[in-house]
Chains A and B, each alone.
Chain A
Amino acid sequence: MWKTIRRWFDPAELRSVGEPPDYRFSLANERTFLAWLRTGLALVGGGLAAAQFLPPLPMSHLREVIAVALLLLGAAVAIRAVDHWARTERAIRLGQELPASRFPAILALAVGVGALLLVVAVLMRAVGGP
């Protein structure tokens, strides 16, 4: 794990692998990284917004739980973004197939399930509470 992390911070090591690719591929890979990073930042922003703009919810501390979950999810997306960028760059330089990933599917499911739970919470409040 530490070796992987050290690799992210070592551009010289990455450049020593394989052939220098067409710069367009590197730029596209970098833009994909940035798009994922913005996705992570949006989740972080969503967590910060939830903490200050959500009204009190039927369960105690549910608002804080939602906020912290979004914040941690955002951090995970950012870390996964740089890992995927490094592995893709390596694959491009070595002429290998691009790394496959289940992460987008898992993230989509997590966001979908979270949204459904919130719909339930909102309906419960509308039906049951004042």
Chain B
Amino acid sequence: MSTGRDPGLQPERTRLAWRRTLLTVTVVTALAVRLASTGDPTGALIAGGTVLVWGALLVLCWPRGTGTGPARTGGRTLPLVTVGTVVLALLGVLLVLRGLW
């Protein structure tokens, strides 16, 4: 059977890509919390911020990674997860520089 289309697979592959992304976010958050846990109250504050960003990304990515049928494409979720990633990176910079002053 060859219809030239694969209605089921493309949305499924995209859902799995969202799940992989969320998994990567979780690993990065764990690394950030570990780095923050060695030291002062500033570290705890930044760790809290990191966990908040992780929660926001969880809420954003989860609906895109679950369900069946046609997947939604595009939308505001994409720039928003980008913002989340950039915030994680900047919190990481704060964590690294915190030890220097």
The A53-91 residues at the B interface (CB cut-off 8 A) are: 61, 64, 67-68, 71-72, 74-75, 78-79, 81-82, 85, 89
In the complex the two chains form, what is the Cα distance from A130 to B81 in whole Å?
45
Please, how many angstroms separate the alpha-carbon atoms of A51 and B20 in the complex? 24
Q: Which of B35, B75, B85 contacts A78 (CB 8 A)?
A: B85
**Which of B6, B18, B73, B95 meets A48, CB within 8 Å?**
B95
**A8 in the interface (beta carbon within 8 A):** yes
Residues of B close to A26: CB separation below 8 A: 73-74
Question: B11–A27 contact, CB under 8 A?
Answer: yes
Taking CB as reference atom, which chain A residue is nearest B37? A52
Interface residues in A, total, Cβ within 8 A: 41
Contact indicator A78/B82 (Cβ below 8 Å): yes
Whether the pair A30, B20 counts as a contact (CB closer than 8 A) is no
Interface contact A45-B73, CB-CB below 8 Å: no
Partner-binding segment picked from A35-43, A100-108, A112-120, A121-129: A35-43
Cβ–Cβ contact A37 & B21, under 8 A: yes
Once A and B bind, how many residue pairs between them come within 8 Å at the CB atom? Answer: 119
Main secondary structure of the interface of B (DSSP, over half): helix
Task: For B96, list chain A residues within 8 Å (CB).
Answer: 47, 51, 64, 67-68, 71
Identify the A interface with B (CB < 8 A).
8-9, 11, 14, 23-24, 26-31, 33-35, 37-38, 40-42, 44-45, 47-49, 51-52, 61, 64, 67-68, 71-72, 74-75, 78-79, 81-82, 85, 89
Given the complex, which residues of A lie within 8 Å of B78, measured CB to CB?
Answer: 8, 30, 33, 82, 85
Chain B min CB distance to A81 (Å): 7
The listed residue with most A CB atoms (<10 A of its CB), out of B6, B14, B71, B78, is: B78
Q: Could you give 23 example pairs across A and B, Cβ below 8 Å?
A: A8-B82, A9-B80, A23-B70, A26-B73, A26-B74, A40-B89, A41-B25, A44-B28, A44-B88, A48-B92, A52-B38, A61-B100, A64-B99, A68-B93, A68-B97, A71-B89, A71-B90, A71-B92, A71-B93, A72-B89, A75-B86, A78-B82, A78-B89
